[in-house]
Structure 1
Amino acid sequence: MNKYNIFLLVFISVFFTSCIPTKDLIYLQENKNKDNNKAVEAITDKPYRLQVNDLLNVTIKAMDPKLVEIFNSTIGSAVNNEQAIYFNGYVVDDHGNIRLPVLGEINVLGHTFEEVRIKVEKKLLEEYFNKEAGIFVNVRLGGFRYTVNGEVSSSGTKVLYQDRVNIMEAIANSGDIEITGNRKDVVVIRRFPQGNQTYHIDLTDSNAVNSPAYQLQPNDYIYVKPLKQKTWGTGRTGIESLSTIITLLSLATTTYLLLNR
C-alpha cells in the first residue's frame, strides 16, 4: 500500500509539473489588486535617432516636378518592392553620412527623421531653390527591420512598412510564440552607437507596455527562450504529458517484468 501511494504521488507530481499552465500563455494580464479606476498615464516615446547601416528613403518634391527630378531615385515607382528600396535607398555609412545626388554627403548619425528633413530642406533652399519653388522633403526608413528567433512560429528577419512597431506586433507578425516559449522572459537586444543593450520583458504582465523594450527600434533582435517543459520532452498539454508518462511507465513495467521472469 505504501508503494502504491508513493507511485501515485510521483505520478501526480510529474503530471502537473510537466504541464504548461494557462497563466503562462496569456499576454498582458491585469493584476487583481490593481486599481482599475487609476487615471490613464501618458506614454512619451522618444523619437528614433539614426544609426550606422540604417536604410533611408528620401524624397524631394516641388511645384514643378522637373526641378527636383535629379534629386530623386526611381524608388517612388516601386515603394513596395523591398529589393528596389535596398538598391535605391540611402544607407548611413560608417561615418554617419548619406550621399544624396547633387547635395553630396550629409551627416545624419544620431539625428531624428525630422532633423534630417529640416537639414536637407535648408540646404536645398540655401543653394538651389527659393521659397516659391515649394520644396517638400520627406524622410523615412526604408522599412522597419527586426529579427526574431527562438520559440516562435516563423523566425528570421522581418520588415514592416510602418514608422512604429511594438513587440506584440512583431511577435504576431512572426506567427506568435509557441506554447513551449517563455513569455515571461523575452530578451530584446538593442544596438546603440556605444554598444548593445539587453532588455528582459515579461509579456504576461500588463506593465510590459511601460518597458523600454515594448516599443521596438529598427534592427532590434528578439529572442524567445524555451520553457523547461520542452527540455523535459513531456508534452505541451495535459493530454500530451499524460501520454508520455503512460508510455514511460509501460516501458518501465515491461522491462521490470522481463528482468524478473
Structure 2
Amino acid sequence: MIFPKKRNVITVLTIVLFTASCVPNRRITMLQHTAGKGEELKANELKARKYETGIIEYLLNPNDLLDIKISTMTPSAFNPFNDADRTLVPGMVYGQSGTLVQSQGYFIDPDGNLELPILGKLPVAGLTISQAQDSIASVVKKYLERPVVRLKLLNFRFSVIGEVKNESTQLSGDNNLSLLQALGMAGGASEFGDLSKIKIIRRAGETTYVFYVNLLTEDYLSSPFYYVQPNDVIVVPPLKQRPYLKYVSPNLSIFATAVSLLVAVFTLFRIK
C-alpha cells in the first residue's frame, strides 16, 4: 500500500518540527559558568567566584530632579532653611494645616545649576552625587554649624521593552540598580526572550549609544553595563524560535491529532 508510506512521512515531519522548535537550557539559563579543566562544580560547596562589579558614579545632568536634605547641629530656631523651605530639613514636615508637606525636589536647570533658597545658584552638572553633596555643604557652612547634605535622584527612570512579562517605564529609588534587578522589576524575561543579546540604549548628552549584553554567562558580572543608568532603555529581543513556539507549537498537537484521525478514516475506507 502507498498510503502507509505517506503516514510515515507525516510522522517524520512532525518529529523534525518538534526537534527544530526545541530551545536548549543553555539558551535560557542566566549566568552560566563553564567549569575549567580540573574544576568540578558541586552543589552546596563553599567555593565562591569573585567578580569586580565596581561602583557606579553617575554624573548629574540638566533636568535631573533632586531631593535635598540638610542636617545640622544648629538649633531649629536659628536654622534659616526652616522658613525658606522646610522640605530641605530631614524628618516629618507639616504645614500650617497639619498636613504632611511632600518634597517636590529641585531641578537642575539647562545651564547645569541648582537654585536653592538662600544659597542661590550652584553649579552641579557633571558632578557625581557625592561631589555635589560636598559642594553644597561647603556653601551651607556659611549659615549652619557642621552641615551634612544628602542628595537623592528622584527621576531615576528606565524602560524595559520587548520579550518581558511587563513592558513598562519604571521609577527606581535605588541609584545603584543592576540590569538583573531592572529586568526583575519588569517581571523578568518571557520564555521567548533571547538573553544573549540584551540591547541597552543609553543617552549621554546629545549622543545616543547602543550596547549589547549577554546575560547567559557569569562574565556579565564584571561588565561595564552591570548597572542601569537613568533613562536607559532595555530591549529584550525574541528568540529565533519565537514564531513557532508562540503560534505553531500550541496548535501542532491539534493538527497532528486531526491528521492521525484522517489517516485512520482513510485507511479504514481503503480496507473496505
> Do these two structures clear the TM 0.5 threshold for a shared fold by scoring above it?
yes
User: Deviation at 1:73?
Assistant: 4.3
Question: What is the aligned partner in structure 1 of residue 50 from structure 2?
Answer: 40
Question: What is the aligned partner in structure 2 of residue 95 from structure 1?
Answer: 111
Question: What is the aligned partner in structure 2 of residue 142 from structure 1?
Answer: 154
Distance 2:123 2:52 in 1: 33
Question: What is the aligned partner in structure 2 of residue 60 from structure 1?
Answer: 70
Aligned with residue 11 of structure 1, among 7, 14, 23: 14
Q: Which runs of 5+ in 2 are unaligned?
A: 42-46, 94-100, 267-272
Q: Is contact 2:159–2:168 with CA below 8 Å preserved after alignment?
A: yes
SS of residue paired to 1:184: helix
The number of aligned residues is 244
Distance 2:8 2:259 in 1: 18
Distance 2:233 2:115 in 1: 28
Distance 2:118 2:235 in 1: 42
Q: Is contact 1:149–1:156 with CA below 8 Å preserved after alignment?
A: yes
Distance 1:225 1:252 in 2: 34
User: Deviation at 1:135?
Assistant: 1.5
Q: Is contact 1:54–1:91 with CA below 8 Å preserved after alignment?
A: yes
User: Deviation at 1:244?
Assistant: 2.0
- Name the Cα RMSD after superposition: 3.2
Aligned with residue 26 of structure 1, among 25, 29, 33: 29
Output aligned runs, 1:1-261, within 5 Å: 3-33=6-36, 40-63=50-73, 64-66=75-77, 67=79, 68-70=81-83, 72-74=85-87, 77=92, 84-85=102-103, 88-125=104-141, 128-129=142-143, 133-142=145-154, 144-234=156-246, 241=249, 243-249=250-256
Distance 1:113 1:226 in 2: 37
Note closer, same or farther for the CA distance 1:254–1:107 as it changes in structure 2 (3 Å cut).
Answer: farther
Structure with max Cα Rg: 2
Q: Give the letter aligned to residue 119 of structure 2.
A: L
Q: Give the letter aligned to residue 51 of structure 1.
A: N
Note closer, same or farther for the CA distance 1:228–1:248 as it changes in structure 2 (3 Å cut).
Answer: farther
User: Deviation at 1:196?
Assistant: 1.4
Q: Give the letter aligned to residue 118 of structure 2.
A: V
Identity percentage over the alignment? 25
Q: Is contact 2:197–2:236 with CA below 8 Å preserved after alignment?
A: yes
Q: Which runs of 5+ in 1 are unaligned?
A: none
Q: Give the letter aligned to residue 71 of structure 2.
A: K
User: Deviation at 1:246?
Assistant: 3.1
